[in-house]
Amino acid sequence: MAAVQTTSERALNKVAIISVLIVTIIFLAPIYWIVSTSFKPRNLATTVPPTIVFEPEISPFVKLTLRRSQLREQPTPEEYAAAPWWERLVFDGGEKIVRSGRGEVQLSGYPSRFVNSLIIAITSTVLAVAMGTFTAYGFSRFKMPGEQDWLFFILSTRMLPPVVVAIPMFLMYRAVGLNDTHVGLIILYTAFNLSFSVWLMKGFIDEIPKEYEEAALVDGYTRMEAFFKVVLPEAATGIAATAVFCFITAWNEYAFALIMTRRDAQTAPPFIPSQVGSGLPDWTVIASGTFLFLLPVAIFTFLLRNHLLRGMSFGAIRK
- List Cβ<8 Å contacts ≥24 apart for 173-176: 173/260
Contact pick of 120, 121, 154, 246 for another protein (by CB under 8 A): 154
Integer Cα distance of 249 and 297 in angstroms: 10
SS (H, E, C) 185-204: HHHHHHHHHHHHHHHHHHHH
CB nearer another protein, residue 238 or residue 270: 270
**170 touches another protein (CB under 8 A):** yes
Q: Total binding residues for another protein by CB under 8 A?
A: 109
**16 touches another protein (CB under 8 A):** yes
**39 touches another protein (CB under 8 A):** no
CB nearer another protein, residue 96 or residue 116: 116
Considering the complex, what minimum distance in angstroms separates the CB of residue 58 from another protein?
A: 19
Considering the complex, what minimum distance in angstroms separates the CB of residue 23 from another protein?
A: 6
Q: Restricting to residues 265-304, which ones interact with another protein according to CB under 8 A?
A: 268-270, 272-273, 276, 283, 286-287, 290, 293-294, 297-298, 300-302
Q: Restricting to residues 244-263, which ones interact with another protein according to CB under 8 A?
A: 248, 251-252, 254-255, 259
Contact pick of 43, 74, 222, 237 for another protein (by CB under 8 A): 222
Taking the CB of residue 37, how many other CB atoms lie within 10 A of it?
A: 23
Considering the complex, what minimum distance in angstroms separates the CB of residue 88 from another protein?
A: 27
Integer Cα distance of 302 and 178 in angstroms: 36
Give the DSSP letter string of 137-152: HHHHHS--TTHHHHHH
- Alpha-carbon distances of 242 from 116, 148, 189, 312, rounded to whole Å: 21, 21, 14, 11
CB nearer another protein, residue 87 or residue 282: 282
Integer Cα distance of 13 and 9 in angstroms: 6
